[in-house]
Amino acid sequence: MEAEIIDETGAPSNDGGAKRRQVMDGARAVFLSAGFDGASMNDIARAAGVSKGTLYAYFDSKEQLFEALIREERGQQAERLCAFPPDPSDPDAQLRGFGRRLVEMMTRPETVAHVRVVIAATGKFPRLGQVFYEAGPHYGVQKLAERLQAFVEAGALEIADTERAARQFIDLCLSGVHKRLLFGVVDSVAPSEIDHAVDAAVEVFLKAYRSDATASPPP
């Protein structure tokens, strides 16, 4: 639980936002370099440039700090990922945009490193995996499902279960790309490969769910 923030002299601090940012930045660096098990509150305080007293004024434990970091980073990424335009009349373009944002985000080195740290910590601390899932993948599925429902209501798509369809589309986009990075088979993915993966995902998805009324007539 967060408490009144004190500075290194023991006096109340008026720059709680800046101190908290220092703590989060320091924690991110330590967790990514040492992993969850290898990180310590001493290491995080040192990397953040704050005292242990200041660190514990914000977070009671390493687990609580890591959970806060997960929520912050997943939340920021999910908001950028799900920035749909207001008009739901063009599923092709909007799904391509969502798919590219998704794959570009999930293939960034820092994202891959973060996912690896979470997976390694989840065996001992299942709560961390749950938080990651709720703040990231689950949130993205819910927002995409809402947009798919808008496409359905506009008559562009025919989908009985938009949440299931959202998961299918996300899996199609990441298929053959993300796991190779996650398990170290490749070090990076070319933009052209991302484009190809997303284009193929959109093609398969729309063949399954495009409304007969909006489908292109056969040549």
Q: Flag whether pLDDT at 11 surpasses 90.
A: no
Average pLDDT over residues 64-91: 84
Instruction: State the alpha helices, DSSP H only, in 39-157.
Output: 41-48, 52-58, 62-81, 91-106, 109-122, 126-133, 139-153
What CA dihedral angle connects 166, 171, 177 and 178, to 10 degrees? 90
Q: Flag whether pLDDT at 14 surpasses 60.
A: no
Instruction: Using pLDDT thresholds of 50, 70 and 90, give the confidence band for residue 75.
Output: confident
Instruction: Using pLDDT thresholds of 50, 70 and 90, give the confidence band for residue 4.
Output: very low
User: In angstroms, how far is CA 23 from the centroid of its own chain?
Assistant: 21
- Helix/strand/coil for 95: helix
Q: What is this structure's pTM?
A: 0.80
Write out pLDDT tens, residues 134-172.
988 899 999 999 999 999 999 999 999 999 999 999 999
Q: Flag whether pLDDT at 2 surpasses 70.
A: no
- Helix/strand/coil for 165: helix
pLDDT at 1: 38
The whole-angstrom separation of Cα 108 and Cα 171 is: 17
Percentage of residues in the chain having pLDDT higher than 70? 89
Domains within the chain, CATH numbers bracketed: 16-60 (1.10.10.60), 71-209 (1.10.357.10)
Instruction: Using pLDDT thresholds of 50, 70 and 90, give the confidence band for residue 6.
Output: very low
Instruction: Using pLDDT thresholds of 50, 70 and 90, give the confidence band for residue 216.
Output: low
